[in-house]
């Protein structure tokens, strides 16, 4: 497993890190961290770094569940926080998205481990008392 760790001090730093990571990410990416850790924030940068839309266009898919940014090489941003049952998640058609080869960013998906592919990237965000974040990017295969 290849893994790298970064520190960010501010929201803008986290967006900038996402912008840097965006071009290299592929496939299924889990964003893991507590409420308010910065999962949606880093997504803003990732999406911008891939040139599909600007950070301001990215909002939390907490209620809409799935957002799609861009058309030709889209990025999907999914938030499973509001779902409790595996069968609810199964109605979303995630398998189809996972096998599409498009970049799929997921918040709270680690709650449904049986539905996830083995081959994926995990971005873990830990918040520190001083508001900084420790962010680890690990590739599993």
Residues that bind ligand ATP (CB under 6 A): 8-11, 13-14, 33, 35-41, 60, 107, 131-133
Sheet holding 2-8, edge to edge: 2-8, 133-140, 120-127, 28-32, 103-107, 75-79, 66-69
Q: Which does 41 bind (CB under 5 to 8 A by kind): Mg ion, ligand ATP, none?
A: ligand ATP
**24 is written with which tokens?**
């290299």
Closer residue to Mg ion (CB): 59 or 91: 59
| 102 DSSP assignment | S
**Residue whose C-beta lies closest to Mg ion:** 40
Give just the sign of the alpha carbon dihedral 81, 67, 93, 14: negative
Instruction: Identify which of residues 15 and 103 has a Cβ nearer to ligand ATP in the complex.
Output: 15
In terms of CB distance, is 46 or 103 closer to ligand ATP?
46
SS (H, E, C) 17-53: HHHHHHHHCCCEEEEECCCCCCHHHHHHHHHHHCCCC
Q: Smallest gap, in angstroms, from Cβ of residue 64 to ligand ATP?
A: 13
Interface residue list for Mg ion (CB under 5 A) = 39-40, 60, 107
The entry of ligand ATP, Mg ion, none that residue 122 binds, CB within 5 to 8 Å by partner kind: none
Strand partners, 125: 135
- Tell me the three state secondary structure of residue 111: helix
**Binder of residue 84, out of Mg ion, ligand ATP, none (CB less than 5 to 8 A by kind):** none
Given the complex with Mg ion, which of 99 and 109 has the nearer CB atom? 109
**Nearest distance from C-beta of residue 60 to ligand ATP, angstroms:** 5
């Amino acid at each position: 497993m290849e893994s790298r760790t970064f520190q960010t001090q501010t929201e803008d730093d986290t967006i900038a890190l996402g912008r840097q990571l965006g071009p290299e990410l592929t496939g299924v990416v889990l964003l893991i961290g507590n409420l308010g850790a910065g999962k949606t924030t880093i997504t803003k940068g990732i999406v911008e770094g891939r040139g599909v839309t600007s950070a301001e266009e990215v909002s939390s898919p907490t209620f809409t569940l799935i957002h799609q940014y861009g058309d030709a090489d889209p990025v999907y941003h999914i938030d499973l926080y509001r779902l409790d049952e595996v069968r609810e998640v199964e109605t979303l058609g995630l398998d189809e998205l996972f096998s599409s080869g498009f970049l799929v960013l997921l918040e709270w998906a680690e709650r449904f481990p049986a539905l996830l592919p083995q081959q994926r990237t995990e971005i873990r965000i830990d918040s520190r008392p001083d508001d900084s974040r420790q962010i680890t990017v690990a590739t599993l295969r």
